[in-house]
Chains A and B, each alone.
Chain A
Amino acid sequence: MATTATLHSHAPQGFIRKYIFSLDHKVIGLQYFFLALTAVWVGMFLSLLMRIHLVWPTASLPLVGEIRPEMYLSLLTMHGTIMVFFVLTTAPQGGFGNYFLPIQIGAPDMAFPVLNMLSFWTTFIGFVVILAAFFVSGGAPLHGWTGYPPLSAVQSAGPGEGLGADLWITSIAIFCAASLMGALNFITTTLDLRAKGMRLMRMPLTVWSWFITAILGLLAFGVLLSAGILLLMDRNLGTSFYVPLIVVNGQIMGHKGGSPLLWQHLFWFFGHPEVYIAILPGMGVTSQVLSTFSRKPIFGYKAMVYAMLSIGFLGFMVWGHHMFMSGMSPYSAFAFSLLTMCIGVPSAIKTFNWLGTMWKGRIRFYTPMLFAIGFVSLFVSGGLSGPFLAQPVLDIQLHDTYFVVGHFHLIMGVAAIFGIFAATYYWFPKMFGRMMNEGWGKAHFWLTFIGTYAIFMPMHYLGMAGGTRRYSQYTEVAYLQRLMPIHTFMTYAAMITIASQFIFLINLFWSMFKGAKASDNPWESTTLEWTTATPPPHDNFGGRTPLVNHGPYEYGVPGAAKDFIMQTDAASTPAH
């Protein structure tokens, strides 16, 4: 299948063509990675300000001064939006997917290199536009990352709902366009550019996860893009898609007959698949890393593929579980609830198979493995609060409380971030030609693992007690005031956890220049990226075209010379 894309096999020489407007998927992958790295520090800094404000609402902070309620809500909106779009969607798919999908299937590049460059730079513009919202008159919007109209549709509904909100929607629309380009590229590349012998059922689970994520992105981002354009029209052109006749601050607005629920349906039709867009690549990396460092084949490879496919499929039929309290028909709630419970089944299969992969293995505790084990633990903890929230009758109590915040942070926030960390520590040697420091890596793991549990587990207790979310302070409602000790604990935990991320940052940049030189296959892995030079040449395999003879996880094969068989090893080596 590898017949195309030899046109640019000679590496460009100029700095701009090589590093800025590069067509090389590896450079673009790194660009995405560093964009996400920048975004995650912005998003994390915003969350630190929020946590401090919740506990000391009148404190004056360096740089930002006293945080007023509207500013708290701006921080909340921007934290959510930046983290979901520019970190959790950008790093695993745009970053690692871009870098390693072509190499892992034995392709010289993406199918459409120019489109690939364009999708990165479009994403970059989206990031600049959303940051600009902080600096315009009125500041960033306060309507939350879900942007429910009429709050998000009417300028007078609050500070930040002027130009700031327009920039916010524009940024998301730009991001959607970029993601659509990326998704097309990933799908085409996976289907058309696989090396000889790379059958679908020989693809590493990481490739499967990026492929399925791309399909989800193709179907979901278009809907959000359209929804965002309608919202912009409601705001600026006087249409009434989402806004009925309303009175804000005693003024009758000029809208009539729109439906606020329409936005919620469109938003969550995107928003729920988005959760899987964030977590599926993490599942792929976790599978890859667990198998590699347990020195055992993945348990139930086909079951893993089918589980990811059914998660992707069912993921489009459960969006209504975000709307049980919205005024949607209670009969629909019943159907959405049942389908949501069903999506728990493939998730349980994956967990079961990860445990089965480690069972009777020989586990090597390098940092990527620690983060993959952490991923499994967090995935279980975050996943098991799902069946609570999936039941509308329990949502009567739990919807829009910290129980929800704890749930999605553990699973699509922290677990997905652990996937990104595992990927970073695992592939760093291939990307930069040097090893990351193991001691610092382990310290980073322990502090982050314990720290994130300390931040997000108590949120479930808060939520059960009725602790409402998106409150800028808990001073006005008596029963919420009584829950303040939990908030104080979480804020201290957040400070320590955020501080420990500097260990990662220092390790990353220090190792880039000073780390020990990496061999071509330091982890004794089996997939194609470990068969080529470190870092890989411009066309990935230095003029060779890999021939694939084996499945992706042939570890501990009885009778083999080594304890692993590379995918490209000669076919005569026993495979089963």
Chain B
Amino acid sequence: MGFALLVVIWLITFGSAYFFIAKTWWLPLGASAAAHWIDGQFALTYVLMGIVFFAAQLSLGYIVWKYRERPSSGPVEYSHGNTTLEVVWTILTGVLFVGLNLMGSSVWASQRFDPAQPGAVPVEVTGMQFAWYFRYPGPDGKYGATNVKFMDPSAGGEAAVGLDTSDPAAKDDVVTGTMFLPVNREVDLSIRSVDVIHSFFVPSLRFKQDAVPGLNIHMHFTPNQIGDYEIACAELCGLGHYKMHGMVKVVSQEDFDKWLTAREAEKQ
């Protein structure tokens, strides 16, 4: 029985680790500036935890086999423990866990402590059951007012986010169902929700933030590769949660300007 346990525990350990090491399924391609740092911290955590995983599981398998009761077994070692070992072990794990945490915190700070730099592209993200809308403030750089009185999700577009068209600042606001972004420019997001909590998750851009009704949450990230990236809602928001998806199209600055100008023209 001891040998069977050793074999099964070791097989589970090696089998689980195989798919991590072979990267059969792994983080999707990282297409934002933060991806490098986030993936680096992930890899570091993964190597350190992997070592602990191997050490703990392999010794568990070994110990249950080695110390199985046999007719030839001698008396057990009568011991209530070893304080020195406990202290060493406590300090080691403490240093490992706290150190790992502190190393990751600088990346977190860079993503979340400071607001976007001046000159970032402003985009407002609005979540509602079960769609995403994106608003660009237009040439005046100012978002027009919105009002719940004008909200009509079934109409889509401007009406869905409740744009108050009587506000002069709203005249040049563009509302779309697909997010267009210029590559290598920081994006200054305002994230909100009109009904329940949603979460704006773009795995390839290493970005996630809940959209909370009543809050306007400012976040920023910088896409650095041209391409199409899927948005998946990551907070349970009702029966259509599974189909609340969208698209981020990261294009060249030139294409972005062209697209935005065309949308402005359509509005007039």
Evaluate contact between B209 and A249: CB separation under 8 angstroms.
no
B217 within 8 A of A: yes
In the complex formed, the residue of A with least CB distance to B41 is A393
Q: Which residues of B contact A (CB under 8 A)?
A: 1-2, 5, 8-9, 12, 16, 19-20, 24-28, 34, 37-38, 41-42, 45-46, 49, 52-53, 56-57, 59-60, 63-64, 67-69, 73, 75-82, 85-86, 89-90, 93-94, 97-98, 100-102, 104-105, 107-109, 111-113, 128-129, 148-149, 151-154, 162, 194-197, 199, 201, 203, 206-210, 212-215, 217, 230, 232-243, 245
Q: Which A residues are CB-close (under 8 A) to B68?
A: 362-363, 365
A468 to B197, CA, bound (A): 15
Q: How far is the CB of A398 from chain B (nearest CB, A)?
A: 9
Residue contacts A-B, CB under 8 angstroms, 14 given: A259-B214, A260-B214, A330-B108, A341-B98, A349-B86, A360-B79, A373-B64, A396-B111, A397-B203, A400-B208, A401-B234, A446-B8, A461-B25, A468-B234
Inside 8 A of A373's CB, which chain B residues have their CB?
5, 60, 64
Having A150-B196, A361-B77, one finds 13 other A-B pairs with CB under 8 Å, namely: A148-B196, A157-B129, A245-B148, A260-B214, A337-B101, A349-B86, A360-B79, A362-B67, A387-B49, A393-B38, A395-B208, A397-B42, A558-B78
Known A-B contacts A327-B212, A341-B97, A449-B8; A151 and B197 likewise in contact (beta carbons under 8 Å): yes
Q: In the bound complex, what is the Cα–Cα distance between A73 and B90 (angstroms)?
A: 42
Q: Do residues A381 and B16 form an inter-chain contact, with CB atoms below 8 A?
A: yes
Decide if B76 touches A477 in the complex (CB within 8 Å).
no
In the complex, what residues of A have CB within 8 A of residue B111's CB? 393, 396
Q: Contacts A148-B235, A396-B208, A480-B232; is A69 near B240 (CB within 8 Å)?
A: yes
- Chain B proximity mask over A205-245: 1 for CB below 8 Å, otherwise 0: 00000000000000000000000000000000000000111
Residues in B with CB closer than 8 Å to A359 are 63, 67, 77
Q: Closest A-chain residue to B25, C-beta based?
A: A461
Complex Cα distance, B235 from A471, in Å, reads 10
Residues of A within 8 A of B207 (CB): 396
Query: Most chain-A CB neighbours within 10 Å: which of B100, B153, B201, B210?
Result: B210
Is B60 within 8 A of A345, CB to CB? no
A14 on interface, CB distance cutoff 8 Å: no
B16 x A300 contact (CB < 8 A): no
From A172-180, A289-297, A542-550, the one touching the partner chain is A289-297
Residues of chain A contacted by B57 (CB below 8 angstroms): 377, 380-381
Contact (Cβ within 8 A) B69 A479: no
Cβ B240 vs Cβ A391 within 8 A: no
Residues of B within 8 A of A259 (CB): 214
Give the distance to chain B from A67, nearest Cβ to Cβ, in Å.
Answer: 12
- Stretch from A84-92, A128-136, A350-358 that touches the partner: A350-358
> Which residues in window 380-417 of A have CB below 8 A to B?
380-381, 384-385, 387-388, 390-397, 399-401
Q: Specify which of B25, B28, B60, B210 is in contact with A486 (CB 8 Å cutoff).
A: B25
Chain A residues with CB under 8 Å of B154's CB are: 250
A395 to B24, CA, bound (A): 21
Return chain A residues, CB-CB under 8 Å to B236: 73, 142-144, 148, 151, 470
CB contact between A453 and one of B1, B16, B234 (< 8 Å): that residue: B16
Nearest CB to that of A326 among chain B residues? Answer: B210
Contact of A555 with B by CB under 8 A:
yes
Q: Which residue on chain A has the smallest CB distance to residue B198?
A: A151
- What residues on A are CB-neighbors of B101 within 8 Å? 337-338, 341, 387, 390-391
Name the A residues within 8 Å of B75 (CB-CB).
556, 558, 563
Interchain CB contact under 8 A, A338 and B98:
yes
B78 touches A294 (CB 8 A): no
Question: Chain A: how many interface residues by the 8 Å CB criterion?
Answer: 121
Contact B56–A380 (Cβ < 8 Å) = yes
Q: Which of A154, A260, A333, A461 is within 8 Å of B19, CB to CB?
A: A461
CB distance from B233 to the nearest CB of A (A): 7
A252 within 8 A of B: yes
* A301 neighbours in B (Cβ, 8 Å): 80-81
User: Chain A residues with Cβ under 8 A from B149's Cβ?
Assistant: 252
Contact check, B67 vs A361: say whether CB atoms are below 8 A apart: yes
Q: Does A557 contact B (CB under 8 A)?
A: yes
B209 engages A327 (CB within 8 Å): yes
- Indicate if the CB atoms of A353 and B81 lie closer than 8 Å: yes
**Contact assessment for A363 and B67 in the assembled complex, using a CB-CB cutoff below 8 Å:** yes
Question: Cβ of A468 and Cβ of B42 under 8 Å apart?
Answer: no
CA distance A58 to B80 in the complex (A): 59
In the assembled complex, the CB of A353 is this many whole angstroms from the nearest CB of chain B, namely 7
Contact between B28 and A345 (Cβ–Cβ < 8 Å)? Answer: no
Q: How far, in Å, is B95 (CB) from chain A's closest CB?
A: 10
- Complex contact A330–B64 (CB within 8 A): no
A143 surroundings in chain B (CB, below 8 A): 236
Distance of A466 Cα from B242 Cα, bound (Å): 14
Chain B residues within an 8 Å CB radius of A576: 80
- A365 close to B2 (CB less than 8 A): yes
A 457-497 to B, binary, CB cutoff 8 A, 1 in contact else 0: 11011101110101111111111100100100000000000
Quick one: which of B80, B152, B162, B242 contacts A297, CB cutoff 8 A?
B80
Q: Are B242 and A476 in contact (CB-based, < 8 A)? A: yes
Q: Contacts A144-B236, A252-B148, A327-B215: A294 and B76 contacting too (C-beta < 8 A)?
A: yes
B16:A380 contact, CB within 8 angstroms:
no
Cβ–Cβ < 8 Å partners of B212 in chain A: 260-261, 326-327
Q: Which residues of A contact B151 (CB under 8 A)?
A: 247, 250, 252
Q: Is the CB of A473 within 8 A of B242?
A: yes
When distances are taken between beta carbons in the complex, the residues of chain A under 8 Å from B235 are 148, 400
A258, CB-defined interface residue at 8 Å: yes
Q: Cβ of A260 and Cβ of B107 under 8 Å apart?
A: no
**CB-based nearest B residue for A259:** B214
> Quick one: which of B27, B80, B98 contacts A342, CB cutoff 8 A?
B98
Assembly CA distance A305 to B25 (angstroms): 40
Q: Which B residues are in CB contact (< 8 Å) with A250?
A: 151-154
Give the contacts of A18-75 with B (CB-CB under 8 A).
68-70, 73
| Residues of B with C-beta under 8 A to A400 | 199, 201, 208, 234-235
Contact flag A464-B25 (CB < 8 Å), given A247-B148, A364-B69: yes
Q: Does A331 contact B (CB under 8 A)?
A: yes
Q: How many angstroms between the C-alpha atoms of A461 and B46 in the bound complex? A: 13
